Structure 1
Amino acid sequence: MGVIGCADIATRRILPVLAAHDDVDLVAVASRSQAKAERVGAAFGCRGVADYAAVIDRDDLDAVYIPLPPGMHHEWALRALRAGKHVLVEKPMSDSYENTLELISTAAELGLVLAENFMFLHHSQHGAVREMLDHAVGELRVFSGSFAVPPLAPDSFRYQADLGGGALLDVGVYPLRAAQLYMTGELDVLGACLRMDEATGVDVAGSVLLSDARGATAQLDFGFEHSYRSTYALWGDRGRVSVRRAFTPPEQLKPVVRIERQDEVVERSLPEDSQVVNAIDAFVRAARAGQDLGSDTSATLRQAGLVDHVRRVARIVDGPAAGHHERELLGEGAGLG
């Protein structure tokens, strides 16, 4: 495998797993900076190069991992697929439905594995929650989900519209994806609001209201202006189940799920798990087998369509200094700028 980009997610969480994996030979890592590439390569026992294309074009690679900003995913994932490489790309797969569709179609035509790295989907706590639904929740009425973090470094790509920045693409996609785990059929966006930072031209917070084929609703919140929160809950006719560390649980954490029913509140501790290791394992198995990911790619395409739908119907609310002026969001281009 090779790695295209030395983002924090790569150096802190993914590269250590790739370097230690029994079925992975980590060959090369690329950065725009030769010094950074060499430093990261030395830390993980592989070659460091200052040329993304040079890694993609190597004939000793089967697959690449792409942790670049969202606005760069389409270009480099497409180039990697056309070079005959399996691709693991950070979420979101791209910054638009059309680009995601092209990537998925290209991978299918070439018989290659293309996976979106939504690691939280690989944590065992979500399977445990699904097993609780009939008894503890019953018929789902409301799904709620929140993922937000404190303000980020000003030079982060997340504040750069041309790189696909913005809260919707960075943190909002998590509760959107989680809602699809439990709700039925195609989801409709009933309303959405995105708060725009005029200085950067990207959305920094938002809320979305969804409904499904059975009339259940989802209330989702996300942003870069909050204390940390990473949670979702399912509320039905029998009770309510809430997941406290839904999206980024540390691997040593034993997640606690809260079950609330009439005259009963139970907190259940689940086994610790590593969603990072599980996600890499799943990709490696698929790539080695040349496996069609099928339902996974269908879910990725539905997710991309849902994000575009949010953009189309959302209202933008400017920051306090701008007087909270609302206007229609056209959703043209990365980062909603």
Structure 2
Amino acid sequence: MSNPVRWGVLGAAKFAREYMARAIHEAEGAQLVALATSSAAKAEPFQAFCPELQVFTDYDALLASDTVDAIYIPLPNHLHVEWAQKALDAGKHVLVEKPIAMSADEIDGLIAKRDTTGLHCAEAYMIAHHPQWTRVRDLVAEGVIGDLVQVDVAFSYNNAADTDNIRNRAETGGGAAGDIGVYAFGCARFVTGEEPDAIISTRIVREAGVDVTTEITATFPSFSYHGYVSMRMAPYQEARFHGTKGVIVVKTPFNARVAGQAELEIRLSDHVRIETFPAVNHYAVQVENFCRTVRAGAAYPWDLENAKGTQTMIDAVFAADRA
């Protein structure tokens, strides 16, 4: 792309340092040009792989820079909407880490501002950009496993020892449902295009005002769903789509290349086949898709309305638990 999208990052978050800033730096059509952090020490690892990086000590100063076209926001969850709105007001396109908001109604303001400004604003929901997930969606739509009957999803890790982690703190919008429920719940919506009819049951374990384990059973128009996410269990992830003629198992659905190889196991009555996607960096693909939308108006796989749909489901889970 001859006219790359120039990116700035708000905050030197660990995830940005290890994954997203590197993905922006490596992605076709993107150029990482700026970082905002008040800590010179935190900026150094970014400058190590991107020596030309300009470092701002103030978030607003980065937003005001005319050398930046798009902003990536990896701030704590409770700050996402505030800084996304500020970035849009500054005339920047915005990619916001998930969950983009703490409740579904907060996303309405971002949708309105996106539509008013004509700028691109999206949630960083990288699995929608991974070919293993578009493949699952196509297989289900084509009826390869017959009629879909049951979806089961599990996603867990254990950060109990990391008490200062923002995911373990209520004041920073922590919790398992917000952090990884967006994947476990949202992937069923992405594959089927359906919205849940009802949350049938919930089991939520809380510590210090934060859900550390959330388990739900739900019904969708054409299938049933069971899923759990946890920040207090051994690392594990799997998604299973069970139909009348076969089963699709997504072996590493959410942390491909980190937790394991992206691999689908397609079990049919007369055979089992494996499809693998070893070389895909879904973070970089996400950035490239974002840049194509900005520069060429290409369709984007996960818009704000999709993000709102998953957040609406999460909101319904907590509402059902309180009822």
- Calculate the TM-score normalised by the size of structure 1: 0.86
Gaps spanning 5+ residues in structure 1: where? 315-327, 330-337
Whole-angstrom distance in 1 between the partners of 2:182 and 2:27: 28
Superposition deviation, residue 249 in structure 1: 0.7
Q: Deviations over 1:92-138 (max 9, x none)?
A: 11111121111121111110000111111111112222333345421
Answer yes or no: is 1:137 the counterpart of 2:145.
Answer: yes
Superposition deviation, residue 299 in structure 1: 1.1
Q: Which moved more, 1:138-147 or 1:94-103?
A: 94-103
Aligned residues: 312
Please point out which of 148, 166, 179 is paired with 2:156: 148
Q: Quickly say closer, same or farther: Cα 1:22–1:185, change in 2 above 3 A.
A: closer
Partner of residue 84, structure 1: 91
Answer yes or no: is 1:194 the counterpart of 2:200.
Answer: no
Counterpart amino acid of 1:59?
D
Counterpart amino acid of 1:4?
L
Please point out which of 291, 310, 316 is paired with 1:309: 316
Determine if contact 1:254/1:269 at 8 Å carries over to the other structure: no
Q: Quickly say closer, same or farther: Cα 1:255–1:93, change in 2 above 3 A.
A: same
Whole-angstrom distance in 1 between the partners of 2:135 and 2:299: 26
Please point out which of 177, 196, 201 is paired with 2:186: 177
SS at structure 2 position matched to 1:65: strand
Counterpart amino acid of 1:70?
N
Partner of residue 177, structure 2: 168
**Stretches (4+) displaced over 6 A:** none
Answer yes or no: is 1:158 the counterpart of 2:167.
Answer: yes
Calculate percent identity across the aligned residue pairs: 29
Partner of residue 5, structure 1: 11
Partner of residue 113, structure 1: 120
Partner of residue 277, structure 1: 284
Q: Which moved more, 1:77-86 or 1:230-239?
A: 230-239
> CA-atom RMSD, angstroms?
2.2
Whole-angstrom distance in 1 between the partners of 2:148 and 2:193: 10
- Calculate the TM-score normalised by the size of structure 2: 0.89
Whole-angstrom distance in 1 between the partners of 2:38 and 2:186: 31
Please point out which of 27, 48, 72 is paired with 1:21: 27
Whole-angstrom distance in 2 between the partners of 1:252 and 1:313: 32
SS at structure 2 position matched to 1:130: helix
SS at structure 1 position matched to 2:272: strand
Determine if contact 1:111/1:290 at 8 Å carries over to the other structure: no
Whole-angstrom distance in 1 between the partners of 2:301 and 2:240: 28
Q: Quickly say closer, same or farther: Cα 1:229–1:27, change in 2 above 3 A.
A: same
Please point out which of 212, 225, 247 is paired with 2:220: 212
Please point out which of 61, 65, 69 is paired with 1:62: 69
Superposition deviation, residue 252 in structure 1: 11
Counterpart amino acid of 1:118?
Y
Superposition deviation, residue 22 in structure 1: 4.3
Q: Deviations over 1:189-210 (max 9, x none)?
A: 222221101xx32110111112
Q: Which moved more, 1:25-34 or 1:90-99?
A: 25-34
Whole-angstrom distance in 1 between the partners of 2:24 and 2:149: 41
